[in-house]
Amino acid sequence: MKNDNTKQVDCQTVREELPTLLYDELDGESRQLIEQHVEACQQCRDELEGFRRTLRLLDSWSVEAPETAEPFKTHSSVESRLPIRLRPVLVGAAAAVIVFAILGWVGTDWQYADGQLVVTLGRGSMSASYLGQDLNTAVPMLRAVAREEADIRCNSLLTVIQENLVEFERQQEERRLALVGAVDVRRDEDWRHQMVMFQALAGGLEREVRYTNRALDDLWTHLSQENPAISRKNELN
Amino acid sequence: MNDLTDAELVQRFRRGDKGAFSPLARRWEGKAYSLAYRLTLDAAESDDIKQTALMRAFKGLAEFNGKASFSTWFHRIVVNLCRDRMRSRRVRDRVLGEQTGDIRGEGRFAQSACRAGERAETSSRVAQAVASLPTAVREVVVMRHYQDLPFARIAEILDAPVSTVKSRMAQGLRLLQEQLKDVAE
Ligand SMILES: [Zn+2]
């Protein structure tokens, strides 16, 4: 049974507003309207109680942010995310082009002079500089630049792989249909060939990441020797 | 410098005082990490996202127009990074032979949630339930409940109408309630 008050707002409207009520974001008038409705309407009251219970449960999940940034890790997360067991999927020329593109990205360099820090990756493909006093902030950010660059390369590689995966699976299926019962030697060779390609790719990427990490570690050692004020807690362990 | 507001620090930075970035970074890095962690459930990834977000903020702050607040702008960077990472994670999972059955990455999500929460069953179930929400809903739930951002601010960050944000929250709470109905408080 609904009284006059509940008619002013319908249940649908009330239910959409329950989160605002729970998070105390409703102003006086709307609040009153919603509260009156809930008071009088069993279903909306049940919904509100259910939401309250859910919110209390949500509170049990806490996340502790690391106290201090760890700018230097022995293994960067890019490295740990590298595809180790890649499925042999790339077809022909596309794979070869990418191998060269990746392997061409070699060499990391850094310079530090007059408070200016410059890290260069590859053949001038990326550089970043930070001008400021707080090297504890600057160095991790430079590492993030390097990581992002590596990520972009990993991702564009993976996108091409994915596109090729679809095509390759289609071709395999065609062959399977064409060669029912026959020994499919050509397919086996294709797979072996692709596997070699991928090992080269993964190796190239891993090497890049290692170069970058090593260069940044050297940089850090150099900076902390030159400037003892740099906190040692951030040092590579 | 630590007493200055975000807006004041941004202003200093734009006038050429690059050192003004450090207090901003300190102020926001923890929030960036916990937002990223709740959206990705991956500690290493979240640390990375935090670091990248700070780097992007540093690089972009000179052009930051100040129309939105720094907080809105920075949260947007973090959320977008999380979306990108989740997308490439799905691609990776597709490519990694081992996880062929799990192309959407949800299995992996649940797995890491279990590991993270072994000590506390409820906490782990909640993490799993949040992870199972559709991305658009999960972003709203995490930002409203855990980052304590008002709906209007979330709408700004996501560039969506406030009504949409509110209804995603209601939808999220309904889905969570369903998923968590057998969990004791
Ligand atoms: Zn009602």
Q: Which residue has the tokens 């090297």?
A: A135
Looking at this protein, which amino acid is placed at residue B94?
R
Please state the separation of Cα A7 from the chain's center in Å.
49
* A4 alpha carbon – ligand 1 mean position (Å): 13
H or E segment and range at residue A113: strand A108-113
Q: How far apart are CA B92 and CA A81, in angstroms?
A: 9
> Would the CB atoms of B170 and A61 count as touching at under 8 Å?
no
Chain B CB contacts of A151 below 8 Å: 88
pLDDT in single tens digits along all 185 residues of chain B: 778 999 999 988 888 776 777 788 888 988 999 999 999 998 888 887 887 788 778 778 877 777 889 999 999 999 999 998 887 676 556 555 434 333 333 444 444 444 444 446 889 899 999 999 999 999 999 999 999 999 999 999 999 999 999 999 999 999 999 999 888 77
Of B130, B38, B133, B78, the closest CA to residue A64 belongs to B38
Q: How far apart are CA A103 and CA A101, in angstroms?
A: 6
In angstroms, the separation between the Cα of residue B67 and the nearest Cα of chain A is 23
Chain B CB contacts of A157 below 8 Å: none
Q: What is the pLDDT of residues A94-141, one digit of tens each?
A: 444 444 344 334 344 555 555 555 555 443 333 344 444 455 565 666
Q: Within a 10 A sphere around the Cβ of B165, how many other Cβ atoms? A: 24
> Would the CB atoms of A57 and B145 count as touching at under 8 Å?
no
Chain B CB contacts of A57 below 8 Å: 122, 126, 176, 180, 183, 185
Measured on CA atoms in the order A17, A22, A27, A32, is the torsion positive or negative? Answer: positive
Domain definitions of chain B by residue range = 1-108, 114-185
* A184 alpha carbon – ligand 1 mean position (Å): 67
Most confident of A37-46, A115-124, A217-226: A37-46
**CATH architecture, domain defined by B114-185:** Orthogonal Bundle (1.10)
Note every long-range contact of B25-32, with CB atoms under 8 Å and residues 24 or more positions apart, other chains counting: B25/A137, B25/B54, B25/B57, B25/B58, B26/B2, B28/B54, B28/B71, B28/B74, B29/A65, B29/A69, B29/B54, B30/A65, B31/A65, B31/B147, B32/B74, B32/B78
Q: Are A104 and B81 in contact (CB under 8 A)?
A: no
Q: How far apart are CA A193 and CA A201, in angstroms?
A: 13
State pTM to two decimals.
0.62
* A19 alpha carbon – ligand 1 mean position (Å): 14
Phi and psi torsions of A37, nearest 5°: -65, -45
Residue in chain B lying closest to A56 (CA): B185
| Best to test chain A binding among B13, B35, B58, B143 (most A CBs inside 10 Å) | B58
In angstroms, the separation between the Cα of residue A134 and the nearest Cα of chain B is 7
CATH of B1-108, one of 1.10.1740.10, 2.60.40.10, 3.30.413.10, 1.10.620.20: 1.10.1740.10
Residue in chain A lying closest to B185 (CA): A57
Of B61, B66, B84, B74, the closest CA to residue B143 belongs to B74
Q: How far apart are CA B127 and CA B115, in angstroms?
A: 11
Facing A60 at nearest CB: one of B30, B31, B122? B122
Domain definitions of chain A by residue range = 4-58, 74-236
Phi and psi torsions of B17, nearest 5°: -85, 85
> Would the CB atoms of B18 and A132 count as touching at under 8 Å?
yes
Q: A with B: how many residue pairs have Cβ under 8 Å apart? A: 152
* A29 alpha carbon – ligand 1 mean position (Å): 17
Q: What is the pLDDT of residues B77-123, one digit of tens each?
A: 999 999 988 876 765 565 554 343 333 334 444 444 444 444 468 89
